[in-house]
Structures are given as structure tokens and as C-alpha cells.
Amino acid sequence: MLTGKTIVLGVTGSIAAYKTANLASMLVKLNADVHVIMTQNATHFITPMTFETLTNNKCIVDTFDRNFNFDVKHVSLAKKGDLFLVAPCTANVIGKVACGICDDMLTTTIMATKAPVLFSPAMNTGMWENPILQDNLKKLKNYGYHIIAPVEGRLACGDIGSGKMPAEETLLEHILLHLAKEKDLKGRRVLITAGPTQEPIDPVRCITNHSSGKMGYAIAKMAVLRGAEVTLVSGPVAIQPFTGIKKVSVTTAQEMFDAVTTRSQDQDVIIMCSAVADYTPSHCSSQKMKKGDDDLNIPLSRTKDILQYLGDHKPKGQVLVGFSMETENLLENSQAKLMKKHADLICANSISSRDTGFGVDTNKVTLISQTEVKELPLCSKEETADMILSHIADMIKA
């Protein structure tokens, strides 16, 4: 995913530097060319040899180091890097960059580069909340630098609060947001639904389905990587959304209907990937229904058809995509759904194979529009999501 990309990691004097070693390893596994610049203070927490072993590149610390082939290193790395990430970044380095001070290799190289620069602050809560630091962060943002906000947790000093550097996986997601994909959906607003709904019978029981949300979350991830402004309306699932996605959590079909329809008119693309209940109990008991000796009959009422509503109220230029999961007559049923719902594209897939459908990491989808039927190969859900979005991007261009 990062083949051909050069990433420069800046490491400053913080105990959180141990996380950056793992991040460097993760980047190398994605085929990135990783270079590390350390401040002198950072070497008290982790050694340059650690990064050299992980990246197979010399770790730069001393601005005047003579033990390498001659080039003006702060200029060559500044030109070579596709992205800079300073993680962990101390209040000291934030202050120096904000004020244009270049007194070591890291700050000098940041000043020289035109590549995107991301800062991941790591410090004591009191330092993080200091108004001077906050002013310096505002300066960096005004200059076009990117700030990855710290998270709350237990800090090395023993305090509990903000200032903790995010996990390596989160830092990687921020890098991928900038570099992983061509931004062919930049400026497009995309709304995606994912996961099941839960229709309550009583405070304990509900009617639901086997949807894991994996396909919808994969589409949301690939869409934000391609530059889209993504809103994810999600039923109850055990997945965390990718960095940069706005998540709206819902439970019932009615809640999903309301969340989608109140936002639908502002969207360029809507992808209905969720498994919405077609029926809901006509009455939800306020107390747990006790088990009896006889069978239980639960009257069901029809839920609102979200895709039908969207098709009937679709603004000009919007691309509406539905999903069709079938056990038989896949093409016939999906083509009928395309016409009835006034959709632009139906992604049809069957649950007849163990490699497709609910809960698994692979899928095989057939794209059906009014002009063509295109069968996609069996592949991971992220790869499927990317192919679906490429088809949608072509539809937008057309």
C-alpha cells in the first residue's frame, strides 16, 4: 500500500519513543522507504541502532555527522520525503518549529520540506493544557501542518489525563490517509450504512441478523483513503471506524431511517450496505416477557424502506447504491431491485458460499446498473470496496 513512498519519522525526547519503533516496522512491512531523524534527547530513550535495524537506513542525529556519503542531508531528506511524522513530539520541538527555530537536524529538515508534516504530541497533561503550547499548535495549523491529537490515559508520570501519544495503529492510519490512495473522491460527500439493526421485543430480547458490518466499514475506509468526506451510519457492530470517518451510531431500523434521510440531500454518493430489518415487533414490552408453557406469537410491522425513500427523493446528480444479498435468483432479484428502488447501482452478492456473506473477510460481488452487469472476482472486502468505489468514481465522471 505504501510501495514507492518515502516516510521520514522524527523522534524526540519522550518515553513514547518506544511506540515509534513498532510504527517504523509496520511501515517497512507496507513496503515504505523509512528514514528516521532523532533529536539528541531522544537517544536517551531509544537507540539509533534500533531504527537502523528496522529500516535498513542510517538514523540521523547529528547535523554535522561526517560518517556518511556526502550530501546536504537535511535538504536531501526534505526533498525525498513524501510525508513527515514527528512522533512523539515534545512541547519543546513544537515551540521551536512554531517559531521557526532550526537548531538541530530534525527542525532544520522540517523547515526545508514541502511535504505534509504531521505532529503527534506526547507530554504531561499540564504541559498539554498550557496556553503557550496551545497557541503554538494553532500557529502550526495556520502554517498548514497537521496535528494528531493525543488521547487520554495513564501517563508515564502517573497522571491520568490528556497527553498520551495514540497507538501505533492510529498513527499508521493518519499516514495512510495522506499517502495510500489517489484522492479521486476528494471533495465528495459519501454516506455509507453498515451493520445490522436490532428491533426490540422487550428490554432483553431483539430481532436482528448476522451482519458483522465488515463490508460497510471496508467501503467507508477506502472512501476516506480516496479523499471523500465520509459519514458512516452504523448499527451495533464490534468494529472501530478508520481515522477520519464521522460515525453515527444507531440501533433500530427507524433510527437508521432518520439518520440517513436527514442527511441524504447533502450527499454526493449514498451506499446502503447495511442489513436493515424488514419487520419490527408491533409492540415492545416495557418489562421482560416471562417464559410460558405455550408458543409465543409476536405481531410484526413493516419497517420503512430506506433505499426506496432515497430513490424516490434522490436529488439530481447523486449516485445511489444499494446492496442485494440473495440465496437464489441473484441477478433477476437484484435487477428488479435496481428498477424498483430507482438506484444507480446494485451490488449483488450471495450467501450460498462460505467465502461470501456475513462475518467473513472475503466477498464476491456483481455490480448491476441499467447498462451493464459486471462480476467482480472473489477477494478481500477491502479490495471489493475499492473496486466498487472505482466504479462509482467512473459513474461520477460520466
Which one-letter DSSP state was computed for residue 134?
H
How much is the pLDDT for 70?
Answer: 43
| Structural element, H or E, at residue 338 | helix 330-341
Q: Check whether residue 24 and residue 146 sit in a common domain.
A: yes
Strand order in the sheet with 117-121: 33-38, 6-11, 83-89, 117-121, 146-147
Q: Is 51 annotated as a binding residue?
A: no
Q: Check whether residue 24 and residue 127 sit in a common domain.
A: yes
Q: Check whether residue 251 and residue 118 sit in a common domain.
A: no
Q: From 122, 153, 180, give the residue that closes a domain.
A: 180
Contact 184, 393 (CB under 8 A): yes
Q: Check whether residue 218 and residue 105 sit in a common domain.
A: no
Return the ∠ at Cα 221 (arms to 352 and 147), rounded to 5°: 165
Q: From 117, 145, 180, give the residue that closes a domain.
A: 180
Q: Check whether residue 130 and residue 247 sit in a common domain.
A: no
Would you say residue 356 lies in a domain? yes
Q: Check whether residue 253 and residue 342 sit in a common domain.
A: yes
Q: Check whether residue 67 and residue 117 sit in a common domain.
A: yes
Contact 263, 210 (CB under 8 A): no
Residue entry with cell 561526517: 66
Q: Is 157 a catalytic residue?
A: yes
Catalytic-role residue among 59, 157, 206, 273 = 157
pLDDT tens, 308-318? 999 999 999 99
Q: Is 348 helix (H, G, I), strand (E, B) or coil?
A: strand
Would you say residue 82 lies in a domain? yes
Q: Is 381 annotated as a binding residue?
A: no
Q: What are the backbone dihedrals phi and psi of residue 39, each rounded to the nearest 5 degrees, phi first?
A: -80, 160
Q: Is 288 annotated as a binding residue?
A: yes
The residue segments making up the domain with residue 382 are 189-397
Q: From 180, 201, 222, give the residue that closes a domain.
A: 180
How much is the pLDDT for 67?
Answer: 53
Q: Check whether residue 320 and residue 367 sit in a common domain.
A: yes
Q: Check whether residue 359 and residue 298 sit in a common domain.
A: yes
Domain total in the chain: 2
Would you say residue 256 lies in a domain? yes
> In the chain, which residues have pLDDT < 70?
63-74
Q: Check whether residue 223 and residue 367 sit in a common domain.
A: yes
How much is the pLDDT for 353?
Answer: 75
Query: What is the grid cell recorded at 148?
Result: 494528531
Specify the CATH number for the domain of residue 84: 3.40.50.1950
Specify the CATH number for the domain of residue 250: 3.40.50.10300
Q: Check whether residue 50 and residue 130 sit in a common domain.
A: yes
How much is the pLDDT for 292?
Answer: 86
Beta strands in 174-228 (DSSP E): 189-194, 199-200, 206-207
Q: Check whether residue 319 and residue 361 sit in a common domain.
A: yes
How much is the pLDDT for 73?
Answer: 54
Would you say residue 1 lies in a domain? no
pLDDT tens, 208-237? 999 999 999 999 999 999 999 999 999 999
Q: Is 257 annotated as a binding residue?
A: no
pLDDT tens, 150-171? 998 888 777 788 899 999 999 9
| Strands 117-121 vs 146-147: parallel, antiparallel or unpaired | parallel
Q: Is 337 annotated as a binding residue?
A: yes
Tell me how far apart the alpha carbons of residues 28 and 313 are, in angstroms, rounded to a whole number: 48
Question: What does pTM read for this prediction?
Answer: 0.91
